[in-house]
Amino acid sequence: MRQHLSLIILFLFLQQNSLVAMGDMFIRSRGIHFMLNGSPFYANGFNAYWLMYEAYDPSQRPKISAVFRQAASRGLTVARTWAFSDGGYRPLQYYPGSYNEQMFKYVNWATSRGQYLTSDDDFFRNSVVKGFYKNHIKTVLNRYNTINGVVYKNDPTIMAWELMNEPRCTSDPSGRTIQAWIMEMASYVKSIDRNHLLEAGLEGFYGQSSAWRTNLNPGFNIGTDFIANNRIPGIDFATVHSYPDQWLSSSNDESQLSFLSNWVDAHIQDAQYILHKPLLITEFGKSWKDPNFSPYQRDRLFNTVYLKIYASAKRGGAAAGGLFWQLLADGMDSFRDGYEIIIDENSSTANVISQQAHKLYQIRKIFSRMKKLEMWKRAHARKAQWLDGNKGMRIGD
């Protein structure tokens, strides 16, 4: 939604998860699935870009605690925020990114150092600017979490890093500029941090590598390519955003929902059969500022996204979860943008969110039981094989 340029963090809420035993507590990707300690993991969460602002002011920190408590009570498992300041609040996992204003700042810094730059898009091309951004990456990944004392690159509270929120390079609609930038930055992140997953922050627009899909784009050509960008080896999973009320603002509600349904279906299919990577729907929502808005319309949109995720997850598909935009606490009126969900105010939508969390948790329980059953079968087969191989032997021979 808001376009900014810094790493983005995903946090984990795992308080409900009695399925997690001690072991590898980092989220991994295996084929089209996220895995946590050997079992599939599904993310049902929210965006909260404002965490950095409120955490900076000690008097505002109770709002963060309130949001986390409310989120946990509804079964939410992941939060997404900017990596501009500290993270690691339990029981969450954390995830960071950014674009427009920050691109301008980086380009401005390079210009003040004598670089001749003519566009914010030089952020993606100029070696000095890219060096500044790599310094930022290095600083964040090597920073100590002031809450738990763990260096970020070693902290399992962090699920994943996002290179940049909604990267766009309109001066090169071919996609080659952003493709090269993602390749370079992904390689750099992985040279420092091999523990965490990484994604590029894409909105999901199709490009030249998938011309048969470009008819799905809502009229945008902004220099990204969902297929090519996510095929980069250092990118562990794909992301997609969807704001049909913005992208198709002149269309009616039914047309917007139809677009959303086709948009999500296409990306789930492509993640599964072309990319062979998990897909996380990292932003979606509906604004109460839309003409003739009703909570029922918003609930239908949330249910459309959630049902697509659930249907895919239930059959072992690539959809790994969704993060709505955005969750606020009471008393945060200055952060209201029309898309905000406040648990105490938006009861019907809060119930939709809770139901999705429960359904995804049940899928995880089923897969965990299947894993245990398979382990028991293998152990039983080994025992039977050993007994067959030792028939007739006398103890002590």
Question: What residues act catalytically?
Answer: 166, 283
Phi, psi of 143 (to 5 degrees): -80, 145
CA dist., res. 314 & res. 311, Å (int): 5
Pairing of strands 158-162, 8-12: antiparallel
Indicate the helix (H) or strand (E) that contains 385.
Answer: helix 347-389
SS3 10: strand
Residue from 112, 80, 40 nearest 316 by CA: 40
Which ranges constitute the DSSP H helices of 224-346?
Answer: 226-230, 244-247, 253-270, 295-314
Pairing of strands 94-96, 279-284: unpaired
Contacts of residue 348, Cβ cutoff 8 Å, sequence gap at least 6: 295, 296, 299
* CA dist list (Å): 183 to 202, 229, 236: 14, 8, 12
Exposed e or buried b for every residue in 125-161, given b needs 16+ CB within 10 A?
Answer: bbebbbebbbebbbebbebebeeeeeebbebbbbbbb
SS3 161: strand
